C-alpha cells in the first residue's frame, strides 16, 4: 500500500486498498453492502454514518474500543494522529504490539484509516458506550468497594450533584471547576476525591466507574488485557458426566410435561401465555419447580412439541385455545436421548425469549407470563452464544461462576454491559446447566461440537451418545415393591416398565412403584399374569419379591371377572352373585343396569362411565371388544396441530457470500466519479468536506462553503463551523447573525476564508 498523504479522506484511502481488503470490510460490516453502494465515495460516506459506526462497534471488545477512545482523546476525528502518539498514550496499559494489532482490526473495519498517521470518523464517539476519555484518561485501579466507601461519606449536596449527572448527561458545566474556586463547595471536593474528573475550567464529567457503582453494576472493564474467568478446573470426564445426568433429568421433565398437558390441556390467556394460577397448577401436577418448568415450557414450545390451539379432543366449549402437545411430540418420544438433546439445545441457543423472567414483575408491575410475547428478546440468543464462546475459548474442564463469566463477557462486548451483569449471566448459566450444555461451570464436549458450525447436528448427536451412559436392560426390584433403575433403560424396556409401574422419583437413577392400580392398568392393555411374572424375572437383577408375585396373582384373579361390552354397554360375568353385587351398588344407580341373563346386564351408559363407577366401588372390571378380547380404553391424550413456524423462532437472514461481495467490489472499481459543477468549482467529496469542516471547527477558523439549498439554488457563504455531527454542519452564519445547520451532502466546496 502506498504511503497516504496527511488528511486523506476515507474514500481515497479505501480506493487504494486491494480488492480482498474491501471484500473483508464488507464481510465485517455487511450493512455497507445492503444495498450495494454506487461508488467508493458512497461506501466511505456510508461507513462514516452514525448508525453504521454503532453497528460496527457493537462487536468490538474492550481493547479495540479503548484504542478508539484514545484516538478520540488525541482528536483523530478532526486531524491525523501519528501512531506513535497513540502508543505513547496507551503505554503502560497494554503492550505496544497488542495496541497495534487492535488498530489493524479497526482499519479492517474502516473505523480508522491511514498508515503512519490515522484518522477516525466524526461519528466514532457514537460507537463508544461511554464518553470519549472515560477509559483512557481515568484511573482503573480503584475497586468497587473503595468507590462505594467514598460515596457513603458524601453529604447531601455532593450526592445530589452526582445523582443529577447519573440521571442525565455525565458531563456538567460549572464555574467551580476552575482553579481558585472555593474548596468547600461540592464540585472542588468531589474533584479532590476523584469522584468527578475535570475536563476544562468550566466542565466536569462523572467517571465511568463511579457511575457504574452508583447504578449497582459491576465496575469494568478496567484493564486492556482480557480477564481470566476460570474459577475451577475439573476433568472433562466429570464435566460430561454431570451434563449427561442433567440431560436425563431434563428429558424426563419434558416427558412428564407432555404427558400432563396431554391429559389436562392448559387454557391460554387472551393476551397470550399461561395465567399465574394455571402455572401453579401445572407446577403441582408435574412436580417440577416453577423456574425449571418455565424453561421447559419455553424450549418445548420453541421446539414445536407444544402449541396453542383447539385440542382434539377439545376439553372446553370450542371458544378458547389451550396449550397441549402437538403431533411432533409423538415423534419426539421415538427419538434417541442424544437426538432429543440436540433438538432442545439447538432450540435454546436460538430462542429469542428469556425464560428466567417468568414470575418476575415487569415495568408495569405485572408478572411475566410463561409462553407470552412479553418474554421476547432478540438479544437473548446473542447473549447465550457469547457465553458459550467465552467458555469455548477456555481450556477443557475450566469452569466459571456468574461473576467471572460476567466480567469476561462484558470485556468482549462492552456495549452489552447492562444486560451482562452477574445476575442475568447467572441465570444463563443455570439454564445451560439444566439443558446439559455445561457441567460444573465448564463447557461439555458435545456442546463444543454443537456450536462449532452450522452442519454439526449429526456430530453433536454422536458426541452426546458417547457421553450418555449406555442404555441398560435390567432393573432392581425391591421388597417394598419399588423398582430402581440405575441408569437409562433401553427404549422398549422403559416403555414396558412405564406401562405397569408409576414413577415415584425421577433422576439419573429413577424409582418406579408397582401397585394394584398399575398392575390392573397393565392387565387392561391385554397383558397376562404370566407375562408380568416373566417380565420381572427376566429383567430384575435382584430376586423378585414374593409380595410382588402375590400382588400380580391377586389382581389377575379378580381382574376381568366382570366384562363390559357394547349395548351402549353390557356387563358380562361368569359369577352371577358378583354381577348381582355390582348391580346393587348405590353408585351404579345412574347406570340404569338391566339384567338380561343370569350372567349378563346391559346399560345405556358409555363403557368409560361404567368402568369408572365399578372401579370406584373397588371392583376390577375389564373392557372387551366384540370378540371377547380385553382392550385398553384409556384416553390417548389431547393433541393440537404442529405449528408451521416454531414459536418465537426467527431465522436470521444470511449475509452476502464471498462471490457476491467480490462482484460488488468489482462494480465499485468500474465506477468513475464524474465532476459535478457547483458555485465553487468541482464538487468536493462529502467525506472530504466533512473532514475539512471538522478541522475548521477544531481550529475555530472560518471557511467559504459552496452550498445548494433545497430549492436547487447554488450559493457561496462564509461560515464559522462549530460542530459536525450526524451529517449536519452547525456553523455561525455572519450574514444572518445566527447559528445555522447545513446538510453536508449539499456542500459542494470548502475553502479557507483566508484563501478565499
Residue among 411, 273, 261, 390 at smallest CA distance from 326: 261
pLDDT value, residue 332: 92
In the block, cell 444470511 appears at 654
Residues 603-638: b if buried by 16+ CB within 10 A, e if exposed: bebebeebbebbeeeebbbbbbeeeeebeeeeeebb
Q: In what order do the strands lie in the sheet containing 197-200?
A: 171-173, 203-205, 197-200
Residue among 5, 136, 6, 8 at smallest CA distance from 72: 136
State mean pLDDT over 31-44.
86
> Hey, what's the cell of 9?
479522506
State mean pLDDT over 182-203.
89
% of residues, the chain, pLDDT over 70:
91
Give residues with Cβ within 8 angstroms of 482, minimum separation 6: 504, 511, 512, 513, 514
Angle at 110 between CA 107 and CA 112, to 5 degrees: 60
565 against 358, higher pLDDT = 358
pLDDT value, residue 649: 46
Residue 680 has pLDDT above 60, yes or no: no
Bridge partners (DSSP) listed for residue 630: 624
pLDDT value, residue 589: 85
pLDDT value, residue 129: 93
With residue 28 as reference, give the H or E element that holds it.
Answer: helix 19-28
Enumerate the domain spans of the chain: 144-214, 232-467, 476-540, 561-619, 686-752
> Hey, what's the cell of 569?
354397554
Helix axes 19-28, 658-670, angle to 10 degrees: 120
- How far, in Å, CA of 321 to CA of 565, rounded? 35
pLDDT value, residue 124: 93
CA distances (Å), origin 257, targets 91, 296, 307, 487, 749:
58, 8, 13, 21, 70
pLDDT value, residue 686: 80
State mean pLDDT over 403-408.
95
Residue 39 has pLDDT above 90, yes or no: no
Give the other-Cβ count within 10 Å of 526's Cβ.
12
Q: For 215, list phi and psi in degrees, rounded to 5.
A: -85, -5
Q: Does the bond joining 313 to the residue before it have cis omega, within 30 degrees of 0?
A: yes
- How far, in Å, CA of 667 to CA of 479, rounded? 82
Residue 519 has pLDDT above 70, yes or no: yes
Under DSSP, is residue 596 helix (H, G, I), strand (E, B) or coil? strand
In this prediction, residue 58 has a pLDDT band, given cuts at 50, 70 and 90, of very high
pLDDT value, residue 2: 37
Under DSSP, is residue 341 helix (H, G, I), strand (E, B) or coil? helix
Residue 650 has pLDDT above 60, yes or no: no
pLDDT value, residue 613: 86
State mean pLDDT over 649-671.
73
pLDDT value, residue 756: 54
Q: In what order do the strands lie in the sheet containing 714-725?
A: 738-743, 728-733, 714-725, 703-708, 747-752
Domain 686-752 has CATH 1.20.120.80: no
Q: Return the minimum-mean-pLDDT range out of 279-283, 369-373, 485-489.
A: 485-489
Give residues with Cβ within 8 angstroms of 531, minimum separation 6: none
pLDDT value, residue 735: 67
pLDDT value, residue 753: 72
| Residue 626 DSSP one-character state | T
726 against 354, higher pLDDT = 354
Residue 1 has pLDDT above 50, yes or no: no
CA distances (Å), origin 338, targets 259, 467, 561, 563:
20, 9, 45, 44
State mean pLDDT over 602-614.
83
Bridge partners (DSSP) listed for residue 740: 731
Amino acid at each position: 500500500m502506498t504511503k497516504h498523504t496527511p488528511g486523506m479522506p476515507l474514500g481515497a484511502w479505501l480506493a487504494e486498498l486491494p480488492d480482498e481488503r474491501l471484500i473483508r470490510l464488507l464481510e465485517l460490516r455487511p450493512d455497507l453492502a445492503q444495498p450495494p453502494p454506487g461508488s467508493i465515495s458512497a461506501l466511505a460516506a456510508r461507513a462514516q454514518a452514525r448508525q453504521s459506526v454503532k453497528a460496527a462497534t457493537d462487536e468490538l471488545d474492550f481493547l479495540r474500543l479503548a484504542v478508539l477512545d484514545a484516538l478520540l482523546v488525541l482528536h483523530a476525528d478532526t486531524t491525523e494522529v501519528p501512531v506513535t502518539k497513540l502508543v505513547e498514550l496507551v503505554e503502560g496499559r497494554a503492550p505496544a504490539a497488542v495496541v497495534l494489532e487492535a488498530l489493524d482490526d479497526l482499519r479492517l473495519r474502516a473505523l480508522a484509516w491511514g498508515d503512519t498517521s490515522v484518522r477516525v470518523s466524526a461519528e466514532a464517539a457514537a460507537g463508544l458506550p461511554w464518553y470519549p476519555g472515560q477509559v483512557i484518561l481515568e484511573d482503573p485501579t480503584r475497586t468497587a468497594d473503595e468507590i462505594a466507601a467514598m460515596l457513603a461519606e458524601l453529604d447531601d449536596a455532593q450526592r445530589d450533584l452526582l445523582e443529577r449527572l447519573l440521571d442525565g448527561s455525565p458531563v456538567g458545566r460549572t464555574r467551580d471547576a476552575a482553579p481558585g474556586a472555593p474548596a468547600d463547595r461540592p464540585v472542588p471536593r468531589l474533584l479532590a476525591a476523584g469522584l468527578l474528573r475535570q475536563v476544562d475550567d468550566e466542565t466536569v464529567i462523572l467517571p465511568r466507574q463511579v457511575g457504574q457503582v452508583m447504578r449497582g453494576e459491576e465496575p469494568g472493564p478496567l484493564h486492556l488485557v482480557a480477564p481470566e474467568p476460570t474459577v475451577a478446573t475439573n476433568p472433562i470426564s466429570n464435566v460430561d458426566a454431570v451434563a449427561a445426568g442433567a440431560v436425563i433429568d431434563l428429558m424426563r421433565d419434558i416427558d412428564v410435561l407432555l404427558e400432563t398437558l396431554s391429559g389436562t390441556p392448559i387454557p391460554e390467556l387472551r393476551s397470550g401465555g399461561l395465567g399465574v394460577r394455571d402455572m401453579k397448577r401445572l407446577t403441582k401436577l408435574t412436580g417440577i419447580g416453577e423456574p425449571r418448568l418455565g424453561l421447559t415450557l419455553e424450549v418445548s414450545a420453541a421446539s414445536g412439541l407444544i402449541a396453542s390451539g383447539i385440542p382434539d379432543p377439545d376439553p372446553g366449549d370450542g371458544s378458547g385455545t389451550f396449550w397441549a402437545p402437538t403431533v411432533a411430540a409423538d415423534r419426539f418420544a421415538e427419538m434417541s436421548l442424544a437426538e432429543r438433546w440436540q433438538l432442545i439445545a439447538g432450540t435454546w441457543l436460538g430462542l429469542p425469549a428469556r425464560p428466567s423472567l417468568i414470575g418476575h414483575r415487569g415495568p408495569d408491575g405485572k408478572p411475566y407470563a410463561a409462553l407470552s410475547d412479553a418474554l421476547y428478546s432478540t438479544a437473548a440468543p446473542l447473549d447465550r452464544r457469547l457465553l458459550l464462546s467465552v467458555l469455548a475459548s477456555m481450556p477443557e474442564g475450566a469452569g466459571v461462576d456468574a461473576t467471572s463469566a460476567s466480567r469476561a463477557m462484558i470485556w468482549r462486548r462492552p456495549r452489552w454491559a447492562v444486560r451482562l451483569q452477574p445476575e442475568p449471566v447467572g441465570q444463563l448459566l443455570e439454564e445451560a446447566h439444566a439443558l446439559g450444555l455445561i457441567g460444573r461451570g465448564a463447557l461439555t464436549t458435545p456442546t463444543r461440537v454443537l456450536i462449532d458450525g452450522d452442519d454439526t447436528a449429526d456430530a453433536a448427536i454422536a458426541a452426546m451418545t458417547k457421553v450418555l451412559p449406555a442404555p441398560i436392560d435390567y432393573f432392581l426390584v425391591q421388597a417394598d415393591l419399588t423398582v430402581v433403575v440405575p441408569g437409562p433403560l433401553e427404549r422398549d424396556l422403559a416403555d414396558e416398565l412405564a406401562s405397569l409401574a408409576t414413577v415415584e422419583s425421577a433422576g439419573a437413577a429413577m424409582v418406579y412403584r408397582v401397585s394394584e392400580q398399575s398392575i390392573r392398568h397393565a392387565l387392561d392393555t391385554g397383558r397376562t399374569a404370566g407375562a408380568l411374572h416373566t417380565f420381572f424375572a427376566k429383567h430384575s437383577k435382584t430376586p423378585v419379591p414374593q409380595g410382588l408375585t402375590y400382588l400380580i396373582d391377586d389382581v389377575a384373579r379378580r381382574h376381568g371377572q366382570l366384562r363390559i361390552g357394547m349395548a351402549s354397554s353390557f356387563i358380562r360375568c361368569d359369577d352371577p352373585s358378583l354381577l348381582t353385587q355390582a348391580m346393587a351398588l348405590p353408585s351404579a344407580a345412574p347406570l340404569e343396569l338391566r339384567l338380561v341373563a343370569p350372567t349378563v346386564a346391559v346399560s345405556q351408559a358409555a363403557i368409560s362411565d361404567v368402568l369408572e363407577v365399578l372401579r370406584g366401588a373397588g371392583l376390577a372390571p375389564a373392557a372387551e371388544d366384540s370378540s371377547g378380547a380385553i382392550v385398553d380404553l384409556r384416553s390417548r391424550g389431547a393433541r393440537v396441530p404442529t405449528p408451521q413456524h416454531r414459536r418465537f423462532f426467527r431465522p436470521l437472514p444470511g449475509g452476502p457470500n464471498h462471490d457476491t461481495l467480490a462482484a460488488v467490489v468489482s462494480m465499485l472499481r468500474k465506477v468513475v466519479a464524474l465532476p459535478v459543477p457547483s458555485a465553487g468549482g468541482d464538487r468536493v467529496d462529502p467525506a472530504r468536506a466533512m473532514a475539512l469542516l471538522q478541522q475548521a471547527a477544531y481550529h475555530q477558523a472560518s471557511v467559504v462553503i459552496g452550498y445548494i439549498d433545497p430549492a436547487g439554488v447554488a450559493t457561496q457563504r462564509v461560515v464559522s463551523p462549530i460542530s459536525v455531527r450526524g451529517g449536519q454542519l452547525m456553523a455561525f452564519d455572519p450574514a444572518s447573525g445566527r447559528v445555522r445547520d447545513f446538510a453536508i451532502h449539499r456542500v459542494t466546496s470548502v475553502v479557507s476564508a483566508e484563501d478565499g
